[in-house]
Structure 1
Amino acid sequence: MNRAQFLRLSALGTFGLATRGLAFPSGYTGIPSGIRPYLQTPRPDSMWVSWFSDNAPSGLIEWGSSPGALVNSVAADLDVLGSGYNYHAGRITGLSPNSYYYYRVSNGSTVSEVFRFRTPPPAGTKTGRMRVLVMGDNQIIAENRYEKLIACAKAKIESLYNKPIEEVIDFILMPGDQVDVGTLDHYRNLHFKQCGLISPNIPIMTTIGNHETYYDTGMNLYGRIFRYDDINYGGVTSPGGEKYYSYQLANIAFVHTSSEHTGAEQKGWVRSLVDVLKTDSTTDLCISVCHRPYQAEQYVGDISGWFRSDIMPIFAETEKHVMNIGAHHHLYARGQTREWPIYHIISGGTAWDQYWGQSTELDMDDVQKTIANWAWQLMDFDLAARRMDVTCYSEANVRLPAATRWNYDSRMVDSFHRQLGLALPSQPSLTNTFSAPVTLPLSLQCSAFATSTAETLNSTWFQVASDAAFTSLKVDKIRDFENLYGDTGAPLYEPVDINAGINLLQFPLAANSLPNGSYYTRVRHRDSNAAWSPWSASKTFEVTGSVVADPKITLAKKVYAYTENFSVVYENGPGNAKDWIGIYKKGQSPGPVASTSWQYVSGKSGTLNFTTDLAAGQEWFAAFFANDGYTEVAPRVPFYVGSTPTLTTDKTAYAEGETVNVTFANAPGSTKDWIGIYKVGQTPGVGGVTSTAYQYTPAASGTKSFANLPKGYYYAVYLVNDGYFEISQRVAFSVGSQISSVSMASNQVPSGQDFTVNFSNGPGIPKDYLGIFKQGETPGVDVLTAYLYFDGKTNGSATFHLPNLAPGNYFVAMYTNDSYTEVSNRYNFTVVAPTPLKLEQSSIEGNQMRLRFSAQPGKNYTVQRSVDLQTWQPVRTVVPSSSSHEELVDFDRSINERCFFRILLQE
């Protein structure tokens, strides 16, 4: 099936069959009955124990150093979260590090069995091992997928080490979406229940994902259930409480960020953590967690841009940060950041089905493998060696038939490591000799991989640029020795290595891939420890006999601060000795007006550095001129010199009729600078687009109020000098509810027939989707019947192919950002049962027979004729447009007094 055919939930029977066909590990008998406590927040001297009960008024925790001597007790606090949702939590204190303890919990006469856990070693411990089990999105409450994943992981780990799992695993790290919606039902009956096989023995540390925020926008339930607000790393207290937090176990710092609560406050907290981490002698390694991943090859763009651009560079300031763990996409993926020796993975658990061909997809060179399986990961730390080994085990593939889906038997699909203190790979060299201009195709070649360690070659990074500083890159490609992307399709859907057979030490430049001109090239090697070698010495070469490219110039940014130096990269120039680049104010005419600054170029391609101060609060442009004259040989490049304003709104969602307040700061303050309000999907000044509203901003800071905006999805942006040059980030907000709209051509859909849903005024987010529910059901409480993503378009249509959609009454609506937040009207429609094929009337009119029959509109029917009821001849194919169809067919009465007709539905 393609993504237009993907069914999300069980109303069509897909998951009902799957549940009956899924196989647990051999010998598994299910989660034992009775109270199943949930451990969290492990410390060398304490452990939190929590559980749910229906109506018990109080709880007790009894514990000790042996199962027969539970001589200590702790009264568990009672938090009545809701009717039938009594939450008990108590902290066992006074424990010794790296020790086993036994405990049981009780509510009155209801007593659990005795369980065992192990405390972690003291902070700063640099000997021994620590092992962490990583398992992503739980999310599905209607079946026990996650329970199966846990059972498979437990069986495999205990088989590998021949020990009970609590003797192997120190804690479980979950990177978000532990629930589908943040309701009591999902916390108790999804997360706590399906983790019940191991939660009494191994503590679990969770992360906020987008689904935790649905129905719990203030994170009230999350904060009451999980106890993270009194732990920290390095004495740096989190201003976000349980929303984002950190802790240290042994010599490893763990940092759980929130991709759902981004902003300056959390960024400042990370900044403080990393400052401590750099000099803290008690920590050697650091693991970060962010639910939305650093990079993804499916649903391209659905990542945490905030973590990628704002947070990862801070973590990268110290080599101690060795890996970032994400989730959100329901599969496994692993890559390395382009610049730094840092791994990033997606641990997507067993949530909603995700597979190849379902979304916008792109092979990313900072992702080494994407495997659309349900999987889990084991992190094994050698504390003395400052080494992390990670192994990924796959359990199931949603594309396989339900009866054989869970047949991977903990198949190892990935392993990698990071060890600090090892030498970098040796600097490679380019072995090409360029004594004369070259004609493409050409293969760039480098020396063999060399290192003083036992590491092997993982990646090469080839660059080709038009300038010696490598700022104007024409080739910028990292290739790994393996690159798992896509699958083989039916019947096995195995991963495909699209780099199989390539020579990493060569990089092919195809014919016409570079225009004629001069270029610079270099290469570096990355080893299996994720470490890069130094760049090779660069070499220059000239391409001839290729395509002729137009000259162009580029700047790195569009806004520069006053007195900030800037560079202009020029390419494919005429090559005259006195070609030059000039800097002018917007509106000036080169020639009659002298340039404010200028320089001659050197050769056809290169970089010029400008240090001349340019007046602030002005738009400028760079222009490329030929041969000491004023003939421009390339398009101008506009830029702005001045401060970069920040915009904020007091809300992200406004009621219709409510005033929108946009606050600006650090603005240039020119009289004709302005804030424009535009609909999402619009570009200021392009195609005659005008703002919905605007106001001038003749001050450095302030607030502008916009009243009576029609309902819609908008953004505010700062533009300068009465024009359309944007110098701020766009700030999104919405006005009104049910802004989007959905419709269908008909509210009657014949069973088995494709149907199209039109939509308009969408929020423009990659994982907006059209969801179908049965009429009377509640989104987020009742399960989806079917859904379709539509690539974040604001207007368009999507076609459902649901051949097994049962007759009945349904509604379709738009939901935003993979949530159950309903942003459109509901369009009610009915799936009608197939009209039985029935001959309603026939009559003879001369040499014609008039047939009227009940039919399914749009289906193909064949009318056949026979004179002996043995041999049938086709007369014609008809496609009825209504449920009652008439057809005139010819027959020759002189051949036989009898003539028979029949009508067949073509399936």
Structure 2
Amino acid sequence: MTRRFITIFLLFCISMLHAATVETNKDTYTPNQKITVTFSDLESLNDDWIGIYAEGSENTWANMIQWDWTDDIAAGTVTFNALPAGDYEIRAYYNNSFVLEASKKFTVEPNLVAATVTTDKETYLLNELVTTSFANMAGNANDWIGIYPAGSTTAWQNMVKWEWIAAEINGTQTFQGLPVGDYEARVFFNNSLIMEASQPFSVTANNVVATIETTKDTYSHDEQIVTVFDDMSGNEEDWIAIYPAGSVSNWANVIQWEWANSNVSGSQTFEALPEGDYEVRAFFNNSYNIEASHAFSVENTEVVLTSHKEVYDPQELIHVDFDKMRGTGSDWIGVFTAGSGHEHEDAIQWKYAQSSVSGTLNFDGLLPGNYEIRAYFATSYRKTINFTVQDVEATTIHYENAENPENGFQQEWFHNGTPVSLINVGAEGSAHSVRAQRGDFSYFSFNNPDKKLRYLVLDTRIGTASHVGNFGVKLKTANGNRRIIFSSYMNHMTNGRNDFSGNAVPTDPMTLDGYLHNHPGPTDYYLDTKDGSFVHYKINIEEKLRILEPDNELLGITLFTSAGGDFDNISL
């Protein structure tokens, strides 16, 4: 008997040495305080757990108030949320069972200080921030504060705005401005809808009207629309939309829209729109009541390029009309070989658009091939059109070779002094030529030939009467009549337009009015000494005209002129 008693006693002592324990950090709590439990000497089984029960209640799942796993450790801590006033027990269990291994009683006494919520003002203006202050909260992670319409239930669908208060006992929370109306700020414990405290307040109109406008009254078709708004209500469902001008504010007519994101003021950018008239409109609280609107328009500003012809002759002047450029100094237009790059150096020719929105540019003629005319805003490519230069059969009209059987002259020559004469020496293969005396103005008419005849072809030399020679043409151009002379003695004069002007033969019906240009050498038109050899020239008259007047255009070569020299085989 004695030996049996000693054995039981020893087993009891050993079990006491390894008995599980649970302790709370306090014996008495208030309703807003969390419960911290320390446990030790557990068996570290996978499903050991700790629960809170009402004091004296049975160890069943139905009676459990809060619980947590011990995470398979023998000793540690577990924190539980605050509890209402009452008497409770912490209980420890092994291996997901309901066999009690350890317990500890504690009490939650009624909180003599209730939770409170206040606002910093009783009445706010429209869109004014609402600042709330709360105190004596439970300290739960899911305590929260909300704004409700005055007198409404605490149902979730009635809530206007809300925020977690991050387990704080005391603190503040600010809400964006609200529409006009009567409201209540309310506080709640632990994600419940049981209101712990409330504070009424109101929002009144402040005679400030919402405004909205666009940064421009007129946009281009490829430009984003930027809107600026102010004095919105701050509601989460305030919104901004673009409508066709004059249309009804319904969903079917909305072109683009965005939330104002609870902002009272700010900006919103919309995508580019087609050409047309529009309105940007501001709405409060997901309604269709227009609070503000602003009209604007979108223009089709795609650059327009037009070539006067789709197919040009070789060396024919290229005419390009442009429209809807920006009108800035960096706008430019170039002629490119089809498919070439977009840099200035890739262009065969290029010109600035003269800071104009619309206008015309002319480019020098080209050899046969396929080409593109392109427009650029600085380095930004905008538009391309295509054209072709096609080779044509050369056309030559012979006017004077001094071989007329009747009198030698093929043309009727006019003069203001000594008439021209026929001499018995000509260019290679020819027996005669025409001599014009130096200082006596002589000329004949080409009788308005086709403008395609832009080359002057002749053989010439200095006559016996002088050591210098001179010949030229009268032109019809897009800018009026012009005269060009080519002279071996002009190399000591200033090259350029208007070296001479007025009428060389004022009494003659074929007056030579308009500018007189010269193209001096010193070697371009050098004619050797008198009685020297004939020199053959083929001169692109339009090219010479455009050296002096880059934007002018040849319409026809009308007269051949001379003030000294021997001439043969004059052709266009």
Q: TM-score, normalised by structure 2?
A: 0.30
TM-score of the aligned structures, taking structure 1 as reference length: 0.21
Specify which structure has the higher proportion of strand.
Answer: 2
